Structures are given as C-alpha cells and as structure tokens.
C-alpha cells in the first residue's frame, strides 16, 4: 500500500509549497490479516472459488478435496474458506510437506543477512577437515560431498538425489545424525552436477543451520521469523529427527493464514513491518530469479501439473510469462500451496486432501486467472473502490483529508 505524506516547504518570499511524498506501508505481519471492506468474500473471484469448493455440480469443481484457502490482495483478505467436512478453521494446522523447503530457503536468507553464511560456501567450509576429519572419514565419496555448495542444495543442482524409497528411514528422514545426513543422498554422476534433480528428503541443511547458529532450525526460525510474524511455538509444529533437528525439507505443520504470512513476507521483500527487514534487500529478487530450468522428466515438475517450462529459484518453483516472472509458489505433496503474484500484490494459500494429486494445482491456476476487485451486486454495479490491478493507489485517511484541508488553507492565505 502507498499513501501520501504531505510536507510543507518554505520556498522563499514567505511562499509555502505543499508537496506529497509517497511512502510504502508494509503490513505488520505480527497481526492477523484483515478483511477487505465490502469485497471480502463478495467479489467475482471469491464467488468462483466458493462455488468450486462447495458445489459438486459447478462447472469448475474441486471435488470436495480443498480443505481450505485464503487469498490476500493488497494486504487484505479478499477470499477465504474452511471446509467443515474436514473440521477446518483458520487455526487448524496440517502437514504442509515440501512447502517446508521454502521456509528453509527463507532461513538461509536470514542467516546470510546476519552474516552467518555465504551461499557459495561448501560443506567442507562448514565442516573443515581440521576440526571434523574423523567425521569425514565416515562419509562415503567424501570429496564429492565436501564440494557441495549451499546454493546448490537450495536449487537442487548438487548432483545428488534421494536414495530409493524402500531404503529411507522415515523416522529419521534424511539422516538420524550429521554423518547419516551427509551419507544420505546418492551421487548421480559428474554430468549431473549443475542440473536440476529434486532432492526431497536430505537433511543436510538443518545441520548447516545448527553448525552456524548453535540452534536447531526450528529454534532459530522461531526467534528470527515466527516471533516476528505473530506465531508462537504452541501454534504450529515442526517434526524432528532423534537428535531434535527439525527437518529442513518437510515436517512443518501450519494453518492456512500462517502459510500466507510467508507469501506476504516475500511480497514485502522481507519486511515484516514498516521498520523491520529480515533478509538482504535483494534476497527476494535473487530467490525468485531462475537458477535452473526444471526438466519435464523430474518428479517435481510432474507433481506441479503445469504446462510449459518451469524454473527454479531458492527452494521455489517459478512461472514465467514472456520471459518475465509471473508468480512463484511454495509447493508441498498433494496440493499444499503458497503462491505469490508480485504484479497483482496477491498471495494465495491452500491445503488439499492428501489423496488429491491435481486439485491444488487447479486451485492455483484458477486463482491466477481471477480478479477479486468487484463486489457481487444485484444491479450489476461496482460497489468497491478496491484496486486489484497491482497499481499503487493513494489511500486518504480522515487525518490525511484534514491535513490537506489545513495546508491548502495556509497556502491560500499565504498567496493572498
């Protein structure tokens, strides 16, 4: 949101000039999202979504697999639904699976901003031979794993992949300790380094967080992110391995509004309120700039159920339109999504039944095509002045109007 701040300037000969300076207002993410006046759940887009979610005979039908959703535009709620069939409310938490990865990406943005990590560091930089030689002696193909960079783990280009599912210990997903975590992924070959290969379960990054911060990832993120956006430890959960390390690639359970706050954080370029930024000023731009194209043969590409080319940033699939970023999404298994449309100032979050394979992507495609700007009216008139085009608009409060009237009067008296 942009609002005018009026400033009086003395310009000589007793003349006063009134000027307006535009100041960005970032949403205070420690507070709950507020409903958009007039148009909350009362606009064309919201009507389409609700019909799809609740009417089995609608032409667009989510088949009762959408458990809930929230669409936020220009910082205000414009569409929201929680499915009573699943006993859903705005505080119900559910597993978000690999959406966790995008929170881990943010974690490394925060660490970089605090000077705790550089993305071009290798695992050997994190655990040098001088202090961890005995540990590396227990790691297979140690020289290959030592060369892995932090950035390559964030964009899945390390040349490593998950082992076969039947060999994975799901009680200690990605490794029960540091040595196990380093040994967990399998090497695909020299020709695969730099190419996208979705590493779904590896937990190396959690141990990187612990090494550089002295705390498990869930504790570091609580202090440096969740506390700042109004989420207390008892309002969500983060699964851990037997050493108490939160999983870096899955394991988070959140409510839908909590998910949307991640999207709003990125939409606000890392600002969690007007005064506090938690990442470098260019982090979101770098995180949402394509680092690699996703091959259509990859399991993640297929799970996203998208058409055409897809790209990947820092733990984020990216959708492009004529070479420009259209939107980006945090995605979790079977339809858990957080999506951000920067040009529309729009964030959407949804959770779907785990049995769904494509309904979540259908929801995202639907939100992508909708507008949420006009209220539903029996006479066909537009009852709202809400701007959903992404254009920055002036917002005049009663105080602004009073100040404008006062300063205008001064100018008239001065010029008389």
Q: What is the mean pLDDT of the chain?
A: 87
- For 333-365, how does the pLDDT look when each residue is reduced to its tens digit (9 = 90+)? 989 999 999 999 999 999 999 777 689 999 999
- Summarised one tens digit per residue, pLDDT across range 306-336 is 888 999 999 999 999 988 999 999 999 989 9
Asked whether the domain spanning 98-250 has the same topology as the one spanning 28-93+255-393, the reply is yes
CB contact at 8 A, 202 and 233: no
- If one counts every other C-beta atom within 10 angstroms of the C-beta of residue 313, the result is 22
- State yes or no: pLDDT of 376 exceeds 70: no
Domain 28-93+255-393 of CATH type 3.30.110.30: no
% of the chain exceeding 70 in pLDDT: 83
- Which helix (H) or strand (E) segment holds residue 50: the answer is helix 44-54
Strand order through the sheet with 317-321 = 34-35, 76-82, 66-73, 346-352, 336-341, 324-332, 317-321, 310-312, 292-294
Query: Given this model, what pLDDT does residue 184 score?
Result: 96
Cα–Cα distance, 214 to 207 (Å, whole number)? 10
Distance between CA atoms of 73 and 386, rounded to whole angstroms? 10
What are 136-192's pLDDT values in tens digits?
999 999 999 999 999 999 999 999 999 988 788 888 889 999 999 999 999 999 999
Judge whether 72 and 341 are in contact, CB under 8 Å. no
Instruction: Report pLDDT for 300.
Output: 92
Question: Which superfamily is assigned to 98-250 in CATH?
Answer: DD-peptidase/beta-lactamase superfamily (3.40.710.10)
Question: What's the pTM value of the predicted model, to 2 decimals?
Answer: 0.85
CA dihedral 33, 39, 41, 44 (to 10 degrees): -130
Dump pLDDT digits (tens) for 13-49: 444 444 444 446 899 999 999 999 999 999 999 999 9
Q: Of 334, 336, 338, 337, nearest to 357 (Cα)?
A: 334
Q: What pLDDT band is residue 220 in, cutting at 50, 70 and 90?
A: very high
Nearest-10 crossing angle of helices 256-267, 99-113: 40
Give me the pLDDT at residue 292, please. 97
Task: State the average pLDDT over residues 70-93.
Answer: 98
**Contact criterion met (CB below 8 Å) for 207 and 249:** no
CA distances from 26 to 163, 272, 399 (A): 43, 7, 19
Locate 49 and state its tokens. 């979504």
Per domain, the residue ranges of the chain are 28-93+255-393, 98-250
Asked if 247 contacts 132 with a C-beta cutoff of 8 angstroms, the reply is: no
Q: Could you tell me where the DSSP H helices lie in 92-240?
A: 99-113, 123-126, 129-136, 142-146, 150-155, 178-183, 204-213, 217-224
């Amino acid at each position: 949101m942009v609002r005018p701040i009026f400033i009086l300037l003395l310009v000589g000969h007793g003349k006063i000039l009134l000027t307006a300076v535009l100041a960005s207002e970032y949403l205070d993410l420690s507070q709950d999202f507020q409903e958009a006046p007039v148009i909350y759940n009362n606009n064309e887009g919201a009507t389409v979504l609700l019909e799809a979610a609740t009417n089995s005979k609608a032409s667009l039908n989510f088949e009762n697999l959408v458990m809930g959703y929230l669409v936020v535009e220009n910082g205000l709620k414009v569409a929201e639904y929680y499915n009573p069939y699943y006993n859903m409310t705005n505080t119900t938490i559910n597993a978000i699976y690999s959406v966790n990865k995008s929170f881990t990406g943010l974690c490394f943005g925060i660490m970089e901003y605090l000077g705790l990590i550089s993305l071009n560091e290798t695992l050997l930089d994190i655990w040098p031979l001088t202090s961890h030689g005995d540990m590396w002696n227990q790691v297979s193909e140690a020289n290959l794993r030592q060369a892995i960079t932090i950035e390559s783990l964030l964009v899945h280009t390390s040349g490593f992949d998950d082992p076969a599912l039947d060999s994975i210990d799901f009680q200690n997903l990605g490794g029960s300790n540091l040595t196990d975590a380093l040994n967990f992924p399998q090497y695909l070959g020299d020709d695969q380094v730099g190419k996208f290969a979705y590493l779904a379960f590896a937990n190396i990054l959690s141990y990187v967080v612990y090494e550089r911060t002295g705390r498990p990832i869930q504790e570091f993120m609580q202090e440096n992110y969740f506390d700042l956006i109004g989420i207390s430890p008892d309002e969500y959960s983060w699964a851990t391995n037997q050493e108490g390390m939160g999983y870096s690639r899955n394991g988070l359970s959140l409510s839908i509004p909590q998910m949307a706050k991640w999207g709003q954080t990125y939409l606000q370029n890392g600002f969690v309120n007007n005064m506090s930024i938690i990442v470098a000023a260019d982090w979101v731009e770098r995180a949402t700039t394509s680092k690699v194209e996703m091959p259509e043969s990859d399991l993640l590409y297929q799970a996203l159920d998208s058409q055409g080319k897809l790209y990947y940033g820092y733990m984020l699939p990216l959708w492009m339109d004529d070479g420009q970023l259209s939107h980006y999404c945090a995605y979790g298994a079977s339809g858990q999504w957080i999506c951000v449309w920067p040009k529309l100032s729009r964030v959407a979050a949804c959770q779907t039944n785990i049995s769904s394979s494509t309904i979540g992507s259908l929801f995202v495609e639907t939100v992508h095509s909708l507008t949420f700007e006009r209220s539903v009216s029996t006479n066909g008139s537009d009852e709202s002045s809400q701007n959903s085009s992404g254009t920055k608009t002036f917002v005049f409060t009663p105080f602004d109007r009073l100040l404008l009237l006062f300063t205008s009067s001064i100018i008239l008296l001065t010029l008389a």
